[in-house]
Amino acid sequence: MTELLEPALRLQGIVKTFPGVRALDGVDFEVMPGEVHALLGENGAGKSTLMKVLAGMYQPNEGQIIIAGQPVRMTTPIEAKAQGVVLIHQELSLVPEMSAAENIYLGELPRKGLGWVDWRTLYKNSNAILERLNCNFRGEATVVNLSIANQQMVEIARALTVDARVVVFDEPTASLTDAEKVVLFDIIKDLKARNVGIVYISHRMDEIFTLSDRITVLRDGSYRGTLTTAETNEDEVTRLMIGRSLDLSRDTAPPKLGATVLDVRDLSCAPLFEGISFSVRAGEVVGFYGLVGAGRTEIAETLFGLRTAERGEILVDGVPVQIGSPQDAISLGISLVPENRKEQGLVLSMNCRDNMTLPQVQKLTSGPFVSSGAENEIFDKYRDKLEIKTPSWRQVVGVLSGGNQQKIVIGKWLSMKPRVLIVDEPTRGIDVGSKAEIHTLLRELAAQGYAVIVISSEMPEVLRVSDRIVAMYSGRIMREFTADEVTEDSLVQAISGIKTADAA
Amino acid sequence: MSNLTDITPLRWLMRNPIWGFVVIVFIFFSLMSDHFFDYRNFQNILVQTSTIGLIALGMTLVMINGNIDLSVGATLALAAAFAVDVQSWAMFATWGNWQILPAVSLALLVGIALGAFNGFIVWKTGVDAFIVTLGAMLGIRGLVFVYSGESSFYAMNFAYSDFSALSFGPFPVLAVIFLLCTLIVHLLLSRSVHGRNTYAVGGNREAAVNAGIRVGPHMMVNFMIIGFLAALSGVLLSTQMGAATPNLGRDYELWVITAVVLGGTKLTGGKGDIVGTLGGVLAIGILRNGMNLMQVPAFYVYVILGSILIAVLILDKRFNRTADGGLRL
């Protein structure tokens, strides 16, 4: 090693413990100037903890952070930024009612002395940054009025306010369209050319292999190794990440299809989605695949009576129906397991049993009181059926693992005896093992005669569970695939809005 | 903020429905009452409004910050008691009219200190501001009674009780103080770094922390500002009455919160402005004044105000529902 190759940033033996958890266990990590270093690991592997240590939000219990050869201590995000370390958050960390410019310079608004904001400098600088990012909005725009993708651009713009030494991108493409992705990649290349070290966190292997120079893998809070991207392949990375090769196969037994249960014709709710037609048969799993914001969740919400469609027909068992409220949907046998189980699916402070019986508790009465026996009966039945691991029904749902929480939500809707089960992002934030369990469960449910709709942003997931895949882009159905004809390439093209020549 | 340029008057009114209401009640009372449309009466309205208005300015800051302060009425009473009582202390007996200075200074300092106390507890313990200031409201009101021995203080110095009768040209001094404070707080909120960070903390606390904004000190400063304004309001009220009663300012916190919410400030924080609050305060002021002139019994004012509060919020919900895309919840 020559002196020229001093890393822009080096972490040595970082240990971070929380009460009862060793979140990081002696992690080493380094980024060279002008290098894109991908950081990989399953959910809970410690990536975000590591990033928070980097950004000065957590103090490591042991270990050293070395920036440009100097050991440093960073106690606040502002200090980290002053050292040239900028973190682009995965979850949008914006203030909705403020302007884009104010959000870009949040925490360090330019001043004119006496604590007044220097608006002219603020707008001039932020508009210059937004122009560099090819954004079609200006710094004066209020963030709440921007699309999710544009909000993400605001978040990214924050990295360009200082002369950064290291920029950490935490899943930056999760909500970007392909065109915006190209801009982002250009920015990353530009930063790289200016000798900035880039830490790139993503689950998308294709991005990691096109962008990165090296890959570091974390598992269960410990360092698993660093690979040079050019000398490795997806399989090796996956093995490091989860400790075995991922089984992407699905049970190939042809499904026993029943009658068409749900038929949707030309359903529209501009600008969210338009001209949506599809059908689901009993015993079938239909996967909806697309980018965030493609309109999949909104379709589910319409089917569940949370939104009103502008036009179009919904037929259940061949009979046109009006779904004006979730109550209507439930009585028609349509259930929705929502995207965000912690906010929309569960009352975290209530126990397992009460969560599960929530939608039907008014029917489970004896006299004026809720019948505990009837509730327990339902809970026991679905705990066994779904193999929910909880010490007792009294356990508060909030402390269960993500996989078990999701099973409680699924159990809740199964106990309502639905015909159609819509699951939105069923394995978000769930570890690999439980993921596989949920996938198997969804297949089994279909085999038992439920019509299942799975909405997912993870390609392996849709490929694994679906009999048919509906690819959506920007509120429209681009193409429908059967499990046999689908390929990863054609699927990616369809959800990116690219029409292929061989499209059916 | 400088985005007023691209907004038509109609759009502006849809965002600030309270000003539409102010105009409507203004026209209504001008037509219905012979005594309403009179420049003396306008002076009256401004003076009557200034008490609640001053506190509402501070409440706007605190509520945008994501907190609330229920202790303002009690703070007002304690400050008024100090302002009136301290003047007559023996040690200031020879000071002449200067005896007002230490009394008023002490009253204002007490307000700032109580605000700092509230803010400090909210900052350091993380206990909800509602609970902290509810406790403060009861505790401070108790202190007022202890201090005053359950009776009123009367101002012996006529310079003090004549103060409220002064005027700058056509404007009564109380109205001038109120409008001046309104301007200052408006600039503070919309133009200063502290003001913008106040929005950031209330709008998305996590984002503010991520951006390195020190949340606690900003909250404490806002509590100190509302403490100061409540005390100032108490002092001015006692000059009007020439006395400080231990029950002064009772229920004021409710009037103030009503005015601020009418003005479009969100209870959850992050949204609101002084222009709206001024509208809310004026709406209440005009309504009380006008109905008084029409000799409507005072309790009807409560019924009408309650209905208007709910109606304005319904209108606001209808006009400003873009964010959730019509999701039915």
| Residues A146-176 pLDDT 10s | 877 788 888 888 888 888 888 888 878 766 7
Is the pLDDT score of A108 beyond 90? no
**A78 shares its domain with A215:** yes
Q: Which two tokens stand for residue A203?
A: 């689950």
CATH number at residue A454: 3.40.50.300
Most confident of A228-242, B86-100, B124-138: B124-138
Residue A120 neighbours by CB under 8 Å, 6+ apart: none
A contacts of B185 (beta carbons < 8 Å): none
Is the pLDDT score of A255 beyond 70? no
Is the pLDDT score of B276 beyond 90? yes
Point out the least confidently predicted range of A232-241, A468-477, B234-243, B280-289. A232-241
Contact B194, B218 (CB under 8 A): yes
How confident is the model over B141-160, as pLDDT tens digits?
999 999 999 899 998 888 88
Average pLDDT over residues A127-152: 86
Total domains, chain A: 2
- Residue A247 has a pLDDT of 56
Residue A407 lies in a domain: yes
Is the pLDDT score of B83 beyond 90? yes
**A347 shares its domain with A218:** no
Is the pLDDT score of A248 beyond 80? no
- Under the banding of pLDDT at 50, 70 and 90, the label for residue B233 is very high
How confident is the model over B97-120, as pLDDT tens digits?
888 999 999 999 999 999 999 999
Residue A253 lies in a domain: no
Ordered domains of chain B (ranges, CATH): 13-318 (1.10.3470)
Question: What is the length of chain A?
Answer: 504
Give the percent of chain A with pLDDT over 90.
Answer: 15
Residue A335 lies in a domain: yes
Q: Which alpha helices (H) appear in A64-211, and where do they start and end?
A: 77-82, 100-104, 119-132, 148-157, 178-193, 205-211
How confident is the model over B160-178, as pLDDT tens digits?
888 888 888 888 999 999 9
Residue A171 CA to residue A202 CA, distance in Å, equals 5
- Residue A60 has a pLDDT of 87
Last residue of a domain, one of A207, A242, A277: A242
Residue A457 CA to residue A191 CA, distance in Å, equals 28
Average pLDDT over residues A382-389: 85
**A321 shares its domain with A370:** yes
Residue B265 CA to residue B259 CA, distance in Å, equals 9
**A200 shares its domain with A274:** no
DSSP assigned state of A484: T
Is the pLDDT score of B278 beyond 80? yes
Residues of chain B whose beta carbon is less than 8 angstroms from a beta carbon of chain A are 1-3, 191-194, 196-197, 199-200, 203-204, 206-213, 270-271, 322-323, 325-329
Residue A502 lies in a domain: no
* Mean pLDDT for chain B overall: 89
Q: Residue A449 belongs to what domain range?
A: 260-495
* Mean pLDDT for chain A overall: 83
**A236 shares its domain with A295:** no
**A325 shares its domain with A212:** no
Tell me whether residues B271 and A97 touch, CB distance under 8 A. Answer: yes
Cis peptide before A172 (omega within 30 of 0): no
- Residue A503 has a pLDDT of 41
Nearest chain B Cα to A74, which residue? B212
**A331 shares its domain with A415:** yes
- Other C-beta atoms lying within 10 Å of the C-beta of residue B89: 12
What predicted TM-score, i.e. pTM, was given to this entire model?
Answer: 0.77
- Residue B235 has a pLDDT of 96
Last residue of a domain, one of A185, A211, A242: A242
How confident is the model over A1-22, as pLDDT tens digits?
444 568 888 888 888 887 766 7
Tell me whether residues A95 and B213 touch, CB distance under 8 A. Answer: no
Is A148 in CB contact (< 8 Å) with chain B?
A: no
Backbone angles phi, psi at A478, to 5 degrees: -85, -40
Residue A28 lies in a domain: yes
- Residue A185 has a pLDDT of 87
ipTM: 0.82
Is the pLDDT score of B4 beyond 80? no
- Residue B71 has a pLDDT of 96
Helices B193-203 and B39-64, packing angle to 10 deg: 60
Q: A74, A95, A138, A272: which to substitute to probe chain B, counting the most B Cβ within 10 Å?
A: A95
Average pLDDT over residues A332-342: 85
- Residue A363 has a pLDDT of 82
Q: Are strands A222-228 and A36-40 parallel, antiparallel or unpaired?
A: unpaired
- Under the banding of pLDDT at 50, 70 and 90, the label for residue A310 is confident
How confident is the model over A23-51, as pLDDT tens digits?
788 888 889 988 999 988 766 677 878 88
Average pLDDT over residues A169-196: 80
Q: Please report which helix (H) or strand (E) contains residue A201, including its range.
A: strand A197-201
What Cα–Cα distance (Å) separates residue A280 from each residue in A357, A414, A458, A468? 27, 18, 21, 9
- Under the banding of pLDDT at 50, 70 and 90, the label for residue A182 is confident
Is the pLDDT score of A453 beyond 80? yes
**A104 shares its domain with A11:** yes
Average pLDDT over residues A419-425: 90
Last residue of a domain, one of A242, A274, A299: A242
Residue A79 lies in a domain: yes
Residue B118 CA to residue A373 CA, distance in Å, equals 48
Residue A475 lies in a domain: yes
**A312 shares its domain with A378:** yes
Residue by residue, DSSP assigns B196-254 as HHHHHHHH-HHHHHHTT--HHHHHHHHHHHHHHHHHHHHHHHHHHHTEE-TTTTTTHHH
Higher pLDDT, B232 or A88: B232
Residue A250 lies in a domain: no
- Under the banding of pLDDT at 50, 70 and 90, the label for residue B2 is very low
A contacts of B191 (beta carbons < 8 Å): 116-117, 119
Residue B45 CA to residue B171 CA, distance in Å, equals 12
Question: What is the length of chain B?
Answer: 329
**A222 shares its domain with A278:** no
- Under the banding of pLDDT at 50, 70 and 90, the label for residue A265 is very high
Is the pLDDT score of B6 beyond 60? no
Express the helix, strand and coil content of chain A in percent, nearest 5 each. Answer: 35, 25, 40
Is the pLDDT score of B54 beyond 90? yes
Contact B57, B277 (CB under 8 A): yes
Tell me whether residues A106 and B208 touch, CB distance under 8 A. Answer: yes
> Across the interface, which of B1, B212, B271 has its CB nearest the CB of A107?
B212
**A225 shares its domain with A338:** no
Average pLDDT over residues A329-357: 85
B contacts of A328 (beta carbons < 8 Å): none
**A106 shares its domain with A234:** yes
